[in-house]
Amino acid sequence: MCHLQDKILISTDLDRTLLPNGEQPESAGARQLFSQIAQRPEVDIAYVSGRHKALVEAAIAEFHIPQPDYILGDVGSSIYQIKDHQWQQWPDWQDEIAPCWQGFSHAQLAEILADISALRLQETAKQNSFKLSYYVPLESDTEALLAEIESRLVRQQIRASLTWSIDELEHVGLLGVLPENATKLHVIELLIKQKGYAIFYSRLHQPSVRRLGPASRRSHRPAAGAAVLALYAAPVFATHPAVAD
């Protein structure tokens, strides 16, 4: 049995990193290699995703990827630890990020932005107490839109971060309003600190809030799974290669 201080934490985004999504191809064999790595007793897996709980579960089932040890979901606004196929939410994380909202509820924050015509609230399942999710037409002036949202939130002394990405399949912009410190990086740092991992590998796709012009909508990304192939060649795994099925 591995002690936690001897364990390796591997964190990875899902869409367009481990899984195909959109126009980018998938690296052949990447998911199979990842599954081999995940079976090793010294390895814990964390999926870091903008997806909410139900969509992460759907991805695990559809693509037959390993059951992780942790889900850092909703663009960093939720943490789940998975034991015996049971999802256990970390209330400590909610306490960590809550002060940024200055006591405002999700409904109160949505009301502050309600009259901005370019914003359309996403489905209830894609919302949580610390994440407002919106659809935005791609033809919108995103710089002006973000500036207006920031201005309204600052007037209420709300400390927020705005995340922007594009759903290439649905051809729509995705805007998230989250507490300032509810980032993928911060949530991973907390997990490492609380659990005491000695070795850590990460491959994340961070949404952007500033590079919003047409060029960013067509930005090149490596094939999904490319990072897995690189990880498999990392010294700690290359020295002791995983046994193939």
d(CA 164, CA 119): 13
Q: What is the pLDDT of residue 186?
A: 84
pLDDT for 224 beyond 90: no
Segment 69-93, tens digit of pLDDT: 999 988 889 999 998 888 998 888 8
The least confident of 2-11, 15-24, 146-155, 211-220 is: 211-220
The least confident of 89-93, 114-118, 136-140 is: 89-93
Average pLDDT over residues 123-139: 95
pLDDT for 238 beyond 50: no
H helix or E strand, kind and range, residue 238: helix 235-238
CB-based contact 70:47 (threshold 8 Å): yes
Q: What is the pLDDT of residue 207?
A: 52
Confidence of residue 244 (pLDDT cuts 50, 70, 90): very low
Return the SS3 of 19. Answer: strand
The answer to pTM > 0.85 is: no
For residue 55, which of 130, 128, 162 has the smallest C-alpha distance?
A: 128
For residue 72, which of 133, 31, 14 has the smallest C-alpha distance?
A: 14
Question: How far does CA 153 lie from the centroid of its chain?
Answer: 23
Q: What is the pLDDT of residue 85?
A: 82
Average pLDDT over residues 129-155: 96
pLDDT for 47 beyond 70: yes
Q: What is the pLDDT of residue 206?
A: 52
d(CA 24, CA 30): 14
What superfamily does domain 4-95+182-238 belong to in CATH? Answer: HAD superfamily/HAD-like (3.40.50.1000)
Segment 185-210, tens digit of pLDDT: 888 888 888 888 877 777 665 554 43
CB-based contact 201:17 (threshold 8 Å): no
Higher pLDDT, 61 or 24: 61
Return the SS3 of 187. Answer: helix
Higher pLDDT, 241 or 245: 241
Please indicate whether the domains covering 4-95+182-238 and 98-179 agree at the CATH topology level: no
For residue 187, which of 105, 76, 108 has the smallest C-alpha distance?
A: 76
Return the SS3 of 66. Answer: coil
- The domain segmentation of the chain, as residue ranges, is 4-95+182-238, 98-179
Return the SS3 of 59. Answer: helix
Architecture of the domain whose range is 98-179 = Alpha-Beta Complex (3.90)
Q: What is the pLDDT of residue 189?
A: 86
Confidence of residue 50 (pLDDT cuts 50, 70, 90): confident
Average pLDDT over residues 124-130: 93
d(CA 157, CA 141): 25
Average pLDDT over residues 100-116: 97
d(CA 40, CA 57): 22
